[in-house]
Amino acid sequence: MLQLLGDHTARPCFFIGLSTGQRVDTLSSRSIFQLAGLELAKTITLLGSVGVGLVWGWLLGGLGDTAQRRFSNVLSVFVATLLLGTEVYLFASWTGAGLFLGALSLALLLHLGWRCSLRQRFNQST
């Protein structure tokens, strides 16, 4: 019969073997897969936050030069961005929300810079 020693912290459990009496460190394969799955889920969630931020920022950059900027249009885009950011926060916590806002800002600036370079190159409005 195996006997559990030590406290129940996050480190592997310790057992004493039957025949040799030596202390053996073990970590069950099930717990390894649970830890890997949890880390994988966090990574996928954070990468998804970055992806959503990049797409939304690029789309916002495309709206930057519209001829008619009515208050209702600006308000609806702001509310949609706020709701999307809230959804990212709920799924991925503050880390995901920060990555979302960073990616959104990066994509927005890249899109606006690209459009500006197109305007300079072709000397016309795009």
What ranges do the domains of the chain cover? 4-122
Summarize pLDDT for 37-77 with one digit per residue, the tens.
Answer: 677 888 888 888 999 999 999 888 888 666 566 777 788 88
Q: Are 100 and 53 in contact (CB under 8 A)?
A: yes
Q: What pLDDT does residue 5 have? A: 47
- Report which DSSP code applies to 69: -
* Mean pLDDT, range 90-116, rounded to an integer: 91
pTM to 2 decimals?
A: 0.64
Rounded to whole angstroms, the Cα distance separating 112 from 96 reads: 24
Query: Above 80 in pLDDT, residue 86?
Result: yes
Alpha helices for 13-70 (secondary structure H): 29-62
* Cβ atoms within 10 Å of 50's Cβ, excluding its own: 19
Q: Are 110 and 64 in contact (CB under 8 A)?
A: no
Q: What pLDDT does residue 88 have? A: 92
- Report which DSSP code applies to 8: -
